[in-house]
Amino acid sequence: MSFTDRTILITGGNAGIGRALAEALLARGNRVIVTGRNPASLAATLAANPGMAGHALDVTDRAALAAFPARLLAEHPDLDTVILNAGIMEAEDYTADAIDLDVAERTIATNLLAPIQLAAALLPHLRARPRAALVTVSSGLAFVPKAGNPVYSATKAAIHSWTQSLRHQLRGTSVTVHELAPPLVATELTPGQSRNPAALPLGAFIDEVMVLLSRGTVPDEILVERVLFQRKAETENRYAAAFAAINR
Q: What is the pLDDT of residues 172-208, one digit of tens each?
A: 999 999 999 999 999 999 999 999 999 999 999 999 9
Q: How many residues does the chain have?
A: 248
| Residue of 3, 68, 143, 152 marked catalytic | 152
Give the residue among 116, 118, 15 at the shortest CA–CA distance from 64. 118
Mean pLDDT of the residues in the chain: 97
Nearest alpha-carbon partner for 62 in 124, 103, 107, 110: 110
Domain ranges of the chain: 7-246
Residue 167 has pLDDT above 80, yes or no: yes
CATH superfamily of 7-246: NAD(P)-binding Rossmann-like Domain (3.40.50.720)
Rg (CA), the chain: 17
Show Cβ contacts of residue 97 under 8 Å, excluding neighbours closer than 6 positions: none
Q: For 4-13, how does the pLDDT look when each residue is reduced to its tens digit (9 = 90+)?
A: 999 999 999 9
DSSP for residue 97: S
152 is catalytic: yes
pTM for this prediction: 0.97
